[in-house]
Amino acid sequence: MSTQTDTQAQAETATILPEGKLFIDGALRRAEGGKTYDNIGPWTGDVVGVAADASAADVDAAIVAARRAFDETDWSTNHEKRFALVQKLHALFEANMDKLVAIARHEVGAPLLAVNRAQVATCLGSWKALMEVYPRVNWEKDYGTLDHGGGYVSHRKAVYEPIGVVAAITPWNFPLYVNAEKVVSALLAGCTVILKPAPDTPLAGVIFGELAAEAGFPAGVINVITGADPAMAGEMLVTDPRVDLITFTGSTQIGKHIMRQGAETMKRMFLELGGKSACIVLDDAENFAQIVAQSILVFHAGQGCAVQSRLLVPRSRYDEAKAVLQAAYDGHADKWGHFDDPACAMGPVVSKKQMERVKAYIDIGIAEGATLLAGGALRPDKGTGWFVEPTCFVDVTNDMRIAQEEIFGPVLVVIPYDDDEEAIRIANDSVYGLSGGVWGSQDRAMRVANRVRTGTIGVNGGAPINGDLPFGGYKQSGIGRAWGVEGIEEYLETKVIAWRE
């Protein structure tokens, strides 16, 4: 094929997604100097579009706009206005489902099943649930009077006010969902927002600017900054005293760095970080084989902070569990990696870098002495993108790195335990505490769940993650809670007022 033909093919590929622009102070525009960077599609490793590559001047302009909109307009005090605009924005997202699906498929690398469940539908459903709980936000609390004696009486109340300018730094795995969680919660609280999506998934952020412009949001209330360098804009936002709060979802390592960087300005932090969640299957669980089989880690290639990547099964049924898993992985061998199959739950990982990271952990697991039950290989035969086989390790001990560190890929580790006490100890023997699950007779499973140190946990298939519920973690899984009333209140400050009549 000639060079000219190659160039033409690349240009045609680049038209899959539109050019992503910055949204600053109410205007969609290119980056300073027109600089862009390539948006790489995980299915093929090819360019699927381009996005604006923001400069320091662009980031500064976004901060100035957000600061002015908060300080000089009625956005922070006009509850009805902002609720109406958030509702209008939601309606525009629903009306642009085709765009949302295209972004999730081509930019995120989500297969159709993941698009229909988690990437788009869950985003819009949780957003709707957030609007439904908005009337329950408490803006004022009466603390009554305090008699100091001698006729000196204080009347007291607390008022809850938006904190100010919020910088939202978001990940690439479920970008529409996390972007909505942060942007919508902060807007409902009365804050102004600068959204910085992950470099790998810029259009999942850009669409917030495009549709905010269509909805008629006041200039500066929402700003969107994209860029190839994951650090430049983030460092500016974290260290700038004009930004009042950082909300970040990503790795614990980066979360710690953000906390250190923000300490100089005593910046408020809301951090959703890593996880290594455990699924505990008790020996009296009904449908034991079915539960174990459905634990295979394939949905969206295991790229989720709340995935249950440690499967804990009773030693008395360990051989049975291994046989069930072997059959489950064998049965799934031809069911993943299909772009157009509506039943496909697993596609590629998001990038070459992530593929190499996952493969490095698979090699670590083998070196540590775990037994590779299934998978373990890269699969270039699936396509020219970033494909890693669904992988399962057995004969794992909880002190192994593959049992302690977040892999963020389709790698399940299976750990045996002797009794409930050991299962609880293993589940809690982690620096993380984000999610989890327990399966067994109801009372027994509830007793176990109550002792697992984690922010969310499902018992016998109960769903603890939804837009009307607070979501967050214990320990190094984060600080604060997203979604629900609590998620909106993360963006509020408390002021106590006392007065004498």
Active-site residue list:
272, 305
CA neighbor of 417 nearest in space, from 408, 426, 428, 430: 426
| C-alpha span between 61 and 195 (Å, rounded) | 13
| C-alpha span between 68 and 347 (Å, rounded) | 43
3-state SS class at 13: helix
Question: From the DSSP assignment, how many helices (H) and strands (E) are in the chain?
Answer: 17, 22
| C-alpha span between 345 and 355 (Å, rounded) | 17
- Side-chain-side CA neighbours of residue 345 (13 Å): 13
Q: Is the CB of residue 361 less than 8 Å from the CB of residue 401?
A: yes
Instruction: State the Rg of the chain over Cα.
Output: 24
The tokens for 225 are: 């900054």
Q: Is the CB of residue 437 less than 8 Å from the CB of residue 308?
A: yes
Residue 217, by phi and psi: left (phi above 0), alpha (psi -120 to 50) or beta?
beta
Q: Which H, E and C letters describe 266-335, residue by residue?
A: CCEEEEECCCCCEEEECCCCCCHHHHHHCCCCCHHHHCCCCCCCEEEEEHHHHHHHHHHHHHHHHHCCCC
| C-alpha span between 118 and 102 (Å, rounded) | 14
DSSP state at residue 155: E
Q: What is the dihedral of CA 269, 272, 273, 278, to 10 degrees?
A: 140
| C-alpha span between 144 and 151 (Å, rounded) | 16
- Residues with Cβ within 8 Å of 462's Cβ and at least 6 positions away in sequence, in order, are none
| C-alpha span between 283 and 238 (Å, rounded) | 48
